[in-house]
Amino acid sequence: MIVIPAIDLKEGKCVRLEQGLMEKETVFSNNPGEQALDWELQGAELLHIVDLDGAFAGLPKNREAIEDILRTITIPAQLGGGIRDIATIEAYLSLGLSRVIIGTAAQRNPELVREACAKFPGQIVVGIDAKNGMVAVQGWAEMTDVTAVDLAKKFEGFGVSAVIYTDISRDGMLQGPNLEATRSLAEAISIPVIASGGVSSLKDIEHLLAIESYGVSGVITGKAVYTGAIKLSEAIALTKG
């Protein structure tokens, strides 16, 4: 299992939200490239970037900051937020991103995921955000009547590299990840699952390591590593055993 630090971009700055609410933001850095390099120097093997403005607008919004990050780091990076069509995927991958994350569009148009996986093998990740087990879309602003497990099962056999599962109610709250829901999802599909939302301590990393065998391949951490609740290098060392 790998530990993946997150950079959430809003108006070109690194921020963290509480439960996905744009009005509940904390700015942690005005220099995304510098922040990304710090995570790399602490041992990160993969960087997770979210274009928050893009997620709400439905189209890319923080290209300058994304390019700055990619110029600065040498490790691979994945990005989500506002990716709704093949042209956007192609444009982002041409910048040097290793993987792109399809979220809202995956729920609304599963065929886009199939097409993207065929065209860009190994570079497509699906993001599933849920609250009480039900999928949320459009930057978490809109709830659906689809369960996270049912949605994830649609992508079996497509060639999806991973499913990022985020429990919205825990995101940015430092209350610990939803272990039960994460394990249930990982057990239900053959696609590797990356846990996201609520990681607050090394103990949370240990709990996730305990369910790694069910198919949990990674964990994304944001607020905890920004506030110092977790030292990224220590979390990475823990997963290395």
Question: What pLDDT, in 10s, does the model give residues 143-198?
Answer: 899 999 999 999 999 999 999 999 887 766 668 899 999 999 999 999 999 999 88
pLDDT tier for residue 25 given thresholds of 50, 70 and 90: confident
pLDDT at 24 (0 to 100): 78
Binned at pLDDT 50, 70 and 90, residue 140 comes out as: low
The DSSP secondary-structure symbol of 223 reads H
Choice among 54-68, 131-145, 192-206, 217-231 with the minimum mean pLDDT? 131-145
Kindly give the pairing relationship between strand 2-10 and strand 13-18: antiparallel
- Better-scored residue on pLDDT, 173 or 236: 236
Say whether 129 is catalytic. Answer: yes
Which CATH superfamily, name and number, covers 2-239? Answer: Aldolase class I (3.20.20.70)
> For the chain, what is the mean pLDDT?
93
Among the listed residues 51, 53, 129, 167, the single catalytic one is 129
> Does the predicted TM-score (pTM) go above 0.75?
yes
Q: Which of 8, 51, 53, 204 is catalytic?
A: 8
d(CA 177, CA 208): 8
According to DSSP, the residues that pair with 167 across neighbouring strands are: 130
Residue 72: which of 37, 114, 42 has the closest Cα? 37
pLDDT at residue 169, rounded to an integer: 78
The domains of the chain are located at 2-239
- Would you call 204 a catalytic residue per the annotation? no
